[in-house]
Amino acid sequence: MEVVMTDLQQIKAGIIGFGGMGFHHGTHLMALADGLELKGVFDTDPERMNLAKERGFSAYSSQEELLADPDISFVVVATPNDFHPAIAEAAMRAGKNVMLEKPATITAGEFEKLIEIAEETGRILTVHQNRRFDSDYLIIKEVLAGGRLGEVFSVHSCVHGSNGIPPGWRKVKRQGGGMLLDWGVHLLDQLLLVIPGKIARVYCTMQTLPDGSDECFDLTLTFESGLNAVVSVGTKNFIPQPRWLVCGNLGAAQVDGWNCVGKVVTVKDTEVYFEPEIVYTTAGPTKTMAPRNKLTVDEVPLPAIRGDEGAFYQTLISALRGKSKPIVDNAEVLRVLRVMEAARTSYETGRAIEFNM
Ligand SMILES: NC(=O)c1ccc[n+]([C@@H]2O[C@H](COP(=O)([O-])OP(=O)(O)OC[C@H]3O[C@@H](n4cnc5c(N)ncnc54)[C@H](O)[C@@H]3O)[C@@H](O)[C@H]2O)c1
């Protein structure tokens, strides 16, 4: 039955999968959201159900019981990735609007099927791509929009840690583990929103665990424009690369890490040539790779932009009230899933994959 929400009514939500991220949704993100409240959760782990009760939420005895509650109009799916398609389908068929945690699904085919079910049932299907509101991304988005770097030819987006992958489903390929589906999906989502045009080729290398799940990957996307983007995620990198490094013919921008420290360096006058001083490395001289003469460039701090952790849910509530579309377009989700599939094929075949999308 169709539930029509008024502005005064609280949207009642349910969460399926009350682990790390489900807990964050329920106790933090939903608590910040004006107009939405968590009614209850279902998790297969009794300890997580006890935690839910301690926090004052209903703990349903089964997924079916949660989905049968007519109060609940919206369900967040925050289980391991392999359960997402079946739970999302059941929730939409029970009349609920659904938000899947990223990556949405393991394969593009699974997500296509869910889009069809959303159309058939008239329910909202969306994906929690929260990192569209991270400060580092918003800063780079602003720098790119400003055009000060000129023609951008290279973008590196890296997330590196050295703790390895935590134990559990994230290390299991058939459950949708591995870093491509975990962090890669965020970085690709961000990248494809700020780089226009089609991707021509995809090439990927990985380091994998015995079951094939990737601990680390380096993915190169060559756009039809000629722009090269590298997305790199590592869990064994004791010295991380910068979070972002963007190069254009008139300048470059770097964001060092989550702290959003960094700089924008732009050329003052492209017509003027300053002879660089020759640098002698241990074994020989170089003029080409000598440091840039400081008088020829401007160096400024990154724009001071801070992401808003509550913003995603505000856009979601507007969509649930029928006032706007969800900000995460399912065609965008599908494109990212297809890039990740091409990346996997590239790794498995050792070849660059023609993409044209
Ligand atoms: N958007 C983000 O920033 C972000 C961050 C972390 C995780 N995630 C996503 O959230 C999801 C969950 O990740 P996590 O880190 O919370 O994992 P987790 O292992 O901490 O939690 C998963 C929970 O699901 C429960 N569960 C397993 N199968 C279930 C089932 N069939 N029905 C109900 N409950 C079930 C488990 O008992 C566990 O409590 C994943 O899709 C992950 O990609 C998103």
For every residue of 14-35, DSSP letters joined together read: EEE--SHHHHHIIIIIHHH-TT
Phi, psi torsion values for 327, nearest 5 degrees: -70, -25
Spacing of C-alpha 198 from chain mean position:
19
Give residue 1's pLDDT.
47
Task: For residue 127, name the pLDDT band (cuts at 50, 70, 90).
Answer: very high
Q: Taking a C-beta distance cutoff of 8 angstroms, is the pair 278, 293 a contact?
A: no
**Ligand 1 centroid, distance to 40 Cα (angstroms):** 16
18 ligand 1 Cβ < 6 A: yes
Biggest CA pair distance of the chain: 77
**Buried-exposed string 339-350: b where 16+ CB fall within 10 A, e elsewhere:** bbbbbbebbeee
Task: For residue 4, name the pLDDT band (cuts at 50, 70, 90).
Answer: low
Determine what percent of the chain is predicted with pLDDT higher than 70: 98
Pairing, β 97-101 against β 58-59: unpaired
The mean per-residue pLDDT over the stretch 123-150 comes to 98
Cβ-Cβ contacts under 8 Å for 167 (sequence gap 6 or more): none
Ligand 1 atom with the shortest distance to the CA of 48 = 39
Q: What is the pLDDT of residues 49-99, one digit of tens each?
A: 999 999 999 999 999 999 999 999 999 999 999 999 999 999 999 999 999
Give residue 6's pLDDT.
62
Write down the CATH number for the domain with range 132-261+302-307+338-354. Answer: 3.30.360.10
The mean per-residue pLDDT over the stretch 133-151 comes to 98
**Ligand 1 centroid, distance to 77 Cα (angstroms):** 8
**Ligand 1 centroid, distance to 192 Cα (angstroms):** 25
Spacing of C-alpha 337 from chain mean position:
11
Name the residue of 24, 43, 48, 105 whose CB sits within 8 Å of the most ligand 1 atoms, as the mutation to test its pocket.
43
Give residue 75's pLDDT.
98
Give residue 8's pLDDT.
65
Cβ-Cβ contacts under 8 Å for 132 (sequence gap 6 or more): 189, 190, 193, 312, 327, 328
Q: What is the pLDDT of residues 280-324, one digit of tens each?
A: 999 999 999 999 988 899 999 999 999 999 999 999 999 999 999
Q: Which residues pair with 207 in a beta bridge?
A: 216
Q: Taking a C-beta distance cutoff of 8 angstroms, is the pair 217, 180 a contact?
A: yes
Determine what percent of the chain is predicted with pLDDT higher than 90: 93
The mean per-residue pLDDT over the stretch 35-40 comes to 96
Q: What is the pLDDT of residues 191-214, one digit of tens each?
A: 999 999 999 999 999 999 999 999
Domain ranges of the chain: 11-128, 132-261+302-307+338-354
Q: Taking a C-beta distance cutoff of 8 angstroms, is the pair 124, 326 a contact?
A: yes
Mean pLDDT of the chain: 96
213 ligand 1 Cβ < 6 A: no
**Ligand 1 centroid, distance to 167 Cα (angstroms):** 13
The mean per-residue pLDDT over the stretch 136-156 comes to 98
pLDDT at residue 179 tops 70: yes
The mean per-residue pLDDT over the stretch 322-337 comes to 98
User: Which whole-number Å values give the CA distances from 352 to 94, 178, 355, in the listed order?
Assistant: 43, 21, 9
User: Which whole-number Å values give the CA distances from 42 to 35, 61, 62, 78, 241, in the listed order?
Assistant: 22, 7, 6, 10, 39
Q: Taking a C-beta distance cutoff of 8 angstroms, is the pair 340, 185 a contact?
A: yes
Distance CA 210, CA 213 (A): 8
pLDDT at residue 153 tops 80: yes
Give residue 350's pLDDT.
98
pTM: 0.96
Q: Which of 165, 14, 172, 125 lies closest to 78, judged by CA?
A: 14
Phi, psi torsion values for 149, nearest 5 degrees: -85, -5
pLDDT at residue 346 tops 60: yes
Distance CA 292, CA 277 (A): 9
Give residue 9's pLDDT.
82
Q: Which of 330, 161, 158, 323 lies closest to 245, judged by CA?
A: 158
CATH homologous superfamily of 11-128 equals NAD(P)-binding Rossmann-like Domain (3.40.50.720)
Name the residue of 76, 79, 105 whose CB sits within 8 Å of the most ligand 1 atoms, as the mutation to test its pocket.
79
